[in-house]
């Protein structure tokens, strides 16, 4: 990972608080692997987590084409290493704020596939009660504070969550995912400035897939080195290969541990690529097919499988078992969603308006 360090120029008459350096080891006592798990087992778990996202979304394509899923759907296919790698570095007490391209984040965070699929169907058993759909998955119990249909809309919310933990003296991390398109929005710069100013425990994760909807980053950013720009706010910023789940996990662990140790906010630019169009409505005419195919050669799932095979850590039979487990899980999620009830019409205003209050 390439790191850039910003220099803070503000002055204060107050005595600066000490900042504890993050551990130099790849895994600290807080986030290291359990003693009963081997490195190989962990890598296989990463593979299964990415396959779960891939197969879930491939099924969503089928269901959307069959009009079983309606509304906007933004697929995460190709970016699985980002969601899985970053979430592996977080604890259950940490908070996650997502984007409208959030299925991968939700599944990697541990929200059951059945709850996510039911939400896609708009059923009451969905994680948002069927009222959010693809772009608004929430699970407060897992501190997953959902997607946001507004570009960069989650950034101020993440700053607020981080500020709340900071004021309570809790050593939790708030992780906020956003795309490269959010960099052009004022919310990013306002959030980065306040986070650095107040030393908030905030991990800013930019999923740079090179396109803001249909606009190439070269056409919407005069300076495309996003990490360098983030460093100008006085935070540590790094660039990571977002197609390598192990590299993502390592960088995210190092950043999260440093934040917990009191370093203040950090920024990760994860360079990745979406293999599908911006949304299911998008004809995807703004990029060359050859470009897409070249990025598919770096498919994070295929590359991890190749590395595991080369090291004799994964055989065909085990890979087949993983594929079957994931396929069965997605099949059960679809069956449960189709059988789940829809919200009755009489509940139309539930969670929308408050009960009438008599005023004497």
**141-183: pLDDT as tens digits:** 999 998 999 999 999 999 999 999 999 999 999 999 999 999 9
* Residue 236 main-chain phi, psi, to 5 deg: -70, 135
Q: What is the pLDDT of residue 4?
A: 64
Give the pLDDT confidence of 182-223 residue by residue, as tens digits.
999 999 999 999 999 999 999 999 999 999 999 999 999 999
Mean pLDDT of the chain: 90
Query: Residue ranges of the alpha helices (H) in 23-141?
Result: 39-65, 80-88, 103-109, 113-121
What band does 237 get if pLDDT is binned at 50, 70 and 90? very high
Average pLDDT, stretch 80-104? 97
Give the pLDDT confidence of 303-330 residue by residue, as tens digits.
999 999 999 999 999 999 999 999 999 9
Give the pLDDT confidence of 49-60 residue by residue, as tens digits.
999 999 999 999
Average pLDDT, stretch 275-300? 92
**Do 214 and 286 contact (CB within 8 A), yes or no?**
yes
Distances (CA, A) of 335 to 54, 126, 331, 352: 18, 13, 6, 29
SS3 percent helix, strand, coil of the chain, rounded to 5, is 45, 10, 45
Q: What is the pLDDT of residue 36?
A: 53
Global pTM?
0.88
* Residue 324 main-chain phi, psi, to 5 deg: -65, -40
Q: What is the pLDDT of residue 282?
A: 87
Give the pLDDT confidence of 17-31 residue by residue, as tens digits.
333 333 333 333 334
> How far is C-alpha 150 from the geometric centre of its chain's CA atoms?
16
> How far is C-alpha 188 from the geometric centre of its chain's CA atoms?
16
């Amino acid at each position: 990972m390439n790191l850039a360090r910003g220099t803070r120029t503000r002055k204060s008459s107050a005595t600066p608080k000490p900042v504890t350096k993050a551990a130099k080891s790849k895994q600290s006592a807080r986030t290291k692997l359990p003693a009963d798990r081997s490195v190989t087992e962990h890598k296989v778990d990463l593979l299964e987590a990415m396959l779960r996202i891939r197969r879930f979304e491939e099924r969503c394509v089928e269901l959307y084409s069959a009009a079983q899923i309606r509304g906007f759907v933004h697929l995460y296919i190709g970016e699985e290493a980002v969601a899985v790698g970053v979430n592996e570095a977080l604890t259950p007490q940490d908070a996650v704020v997502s984007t409208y391209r959030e299925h991968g984040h939700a599944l990697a965070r541990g929200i059951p596939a059945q709850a996510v699929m039911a939400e896609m169907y708009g059923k009451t058993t969905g994680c948002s009660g069927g009222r959010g759909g693809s772009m608004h998955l929430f699970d407060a119990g897992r501190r997953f504070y959902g997607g946001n249909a507004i570009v960069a809309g989650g950034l101020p919310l993440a700053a607020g969550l981080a500020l709340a933990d900071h004021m309570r003296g809790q050593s939790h991390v708030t992780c906020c995912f956003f795309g490269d398109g959010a960099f052009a929005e004022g919310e990013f710069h306002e959030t980065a400035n306040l986070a650095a100013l107040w030393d908030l425990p905030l991990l800013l994760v930019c999923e740079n897939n090179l396109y803001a909807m249909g606009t190439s980053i070269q056409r919407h950013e005069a300076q495309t080195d996003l990490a360098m720009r983030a460093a100008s706010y006085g935070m540590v910023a790094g660039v990571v290969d977002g197609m390598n789940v192990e590299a993502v996990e390592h960088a995210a662990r190092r950043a999260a541990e440093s934040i917990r140790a009191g370093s203040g906010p950090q920024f990760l630019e994860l360079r990745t690529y979406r293999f599908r169009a911006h949304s299911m409505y998008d004809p995807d005419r703004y990029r060359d097919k050859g470009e897409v195919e070249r990025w598919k050669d770096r498919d994070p799932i295929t590359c991890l499988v190749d590395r595991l095979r080369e090291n004799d850590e994964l055989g065909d039979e085990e890979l087949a078992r993983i594929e079957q487990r994931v396929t069965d899980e997605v099949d059960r999620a679809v069956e449960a969603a189709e059988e789940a009830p829809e919200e009755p019409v009489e509940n139309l205003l539930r969670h929308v308006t408050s009960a009438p209050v008599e005023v004497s």
